[in-house]
Chains A and B, each alone.
Chain A
């Protein structure tokens, strides 16, 4: 199994840390992982994206032109990455702020209204874990127990009390994700 994922949105949305959680979860189940961020003179409010690859075998290129899954969190990223999903692949996006929705008919498209749900949960910081939950519902490539282990490993001890809240957000994401095509 190899899953090549692009996660893209605004800086500050937790794009990079969502990718890190996913990568750590992969390590917890003995997979090879790669996490390749776009880096540059970027800042909060600018665009940010990260390629995450999980595989049962050695990972080749962290630089990719097509992806199994695109997780898209703003319009610029949708415009850029919709065409880079492999035919038959998956696109998950938050419709919040999107005016031009995805057009492709040869891929599976899902909605996760994570911005709204995070507001309902009264915690904007759970946004990225809601999105991660949506992804894990559609593509259960890592076990939830390994996501928990990954969070335990990646977060410093002083933040461990936040893990149940993150798990709850993942659970909410799994519930609210819906297929739109």
Chain B
């Protein structure tokens, strides 16, 4: 039977990892996501499901442990916050280049550099446009509630294995630290090597069997032709992901004249803005991207006919707004409103910006 619990977003990540049959978590503590590792250590899943939980000596070690575990076909993950995710970028691009599944959670804090421990959304470019080197993409999920923090761990692993691609949950200090009601699901058993082969194919280095070629996990190929072919193959995969995996939510969009576009915690703030605006009889809707890659470009384009203006709201100097502008192609005015460095806009701040930048502008 489903169980309801009051949990922090970070705790929900940990609980979901145990229950979705994760084989291993490798991490290093950093505010505001330390409760992920703390919860896992307190829960001792190695006694319950056999899941490994390891505090590595650094973020770089942790992501390379993930690389190793993923190469063996295991369901493995790491989590960190912005500066720690920067340290992991080399490992992430190697994992993408080796076409391995894994889950990476970024509970974003303000930057650049060590920045602040307060929430921000200034890692959008890093998550969506690369981060590490090379032409690769992560599938990026943006939870806006603690329930979604829980749900997207399982979803993230499903997508990671389906596409043999790293998946990132891009959260922030608000969702990580906030407590909400969470419906806890039943335990899914950890998969055996045989089950992984049956479901996702034989690519992992689990020991060569006589009737197949050796599996090799690498991101290195010095032959330009083969490397180009490999890049084209990756691009085909990303294209398929763009066609099949776009997720978003529309709130009060049917009659909207003005549109807010916001993800994660900003979308929660914007839900209130919609209510405040509608009280003033301003027809405002909200489009909330759930996947940041693939981005809900077509969903925005489909609404342009009845929109007078769009405000992208993010806790950054304006990153996601670029993807909104690419979707809109100049057909409607697009402005950005954001706070940064750990400052959080209130719904009233956003409404004021909407009125000043879009409605009067």
Q: How far is the CA of A110 from the CA of B274 in the complex (A)?
A: 33
- Expressed in whole angstroms, the minimum distance between the Cβ of B88 and any Cβ of chain A is 23
Query: Cβ of B272 < 8 Å from any Cβ of A?
Result: yes
Q: Which of B4, B180, B269 has the most CB of A within 10 A?
A: B180
**Given A24-B6, A35-B178, A35-B179, are A62 and B346 neighbors across the interface (CB < 8 Å)?**
no
Contact with A along B151-182 (1 / 0, CB 8 A): 00000000000000000000001100111110
Given A33-B181, A35-B179, A60-B275: A65 touches B174 (CB 8 Å cut-off): no
Whether A35 and B6, one on each chain, are in contact in the complex, defined by CB atoms closer than 8 angstroms, is yes
**A65 CB contacts on chain B under 8 angstroms:** 346-349
A34-61 vs B, CB cutoff 8 Å, 1 = contact: the mask equals 1111011100000000000000001111
The residues of B with any CB-CB pair to A shorter than 8 Å are: 4, 6, 32, 117-118, 173-174, 177-181, 265, 268-275, 344-349
| Contact, CB under 8 Å: A20 / B344 | no
Q: Assess the A23–B179 pair: CB atoms within 8 A.
A: yes
> Which A residues touch B344, using CB under 8 A?
63
In the complex, what residue of chain A is closest to B173 when comparing beta carbons? A39
CA distance A41 to B31 in the complex (A): 10
Contacts A27-B181, A40-B117, A61-B271; A33 near B346 (Cβ below 8 A): no
Contact yes or no, B275 A34, CB < 8 A: no
Pair A34/B178 contact, Cβ less than 8 Å: yes
List chain B residues, Cβ under 8 A from A146.
Answer: none
Q: Are B180 and A33 in contact (CB under 8 A)?
A: yes
Q: Report the minimal beta-carbon distance from A172 to chain B, rounded to whole angstroms.
A: 25
Complexed CA–CA distance, A36 and B32 (Å) = 13
Q: CA A20 – CA B348 in complex, angstroms?
A: 26
- Interface: A64 (CB within 8 A): yes
A32 in contact with B181 given A40-B118, A62-B268, A63-B347 (CB within 8 Å): yes
Task: Provide the A1-38 mask, 1 if CB < 8 A to any CB of B, else 0.
Answer: 00000000000000000001001100100001111110
Could you say which of B179, B181, B270, B346 contacts A64, with CB atoms under 8 Å apart? Answer: B346
The answer for the CA separation of A59 and B273 in the assembled complex, in Å, is 12
CA distance A24 to B275 in the complex (A): 26
Q: Is the CB of B174 within 8 A of A62?
A: yes
Does A108 count as interface, using CB distance less than 8 angstroms? Answer: no
B6 close to A36 (CB less than 8 A): no
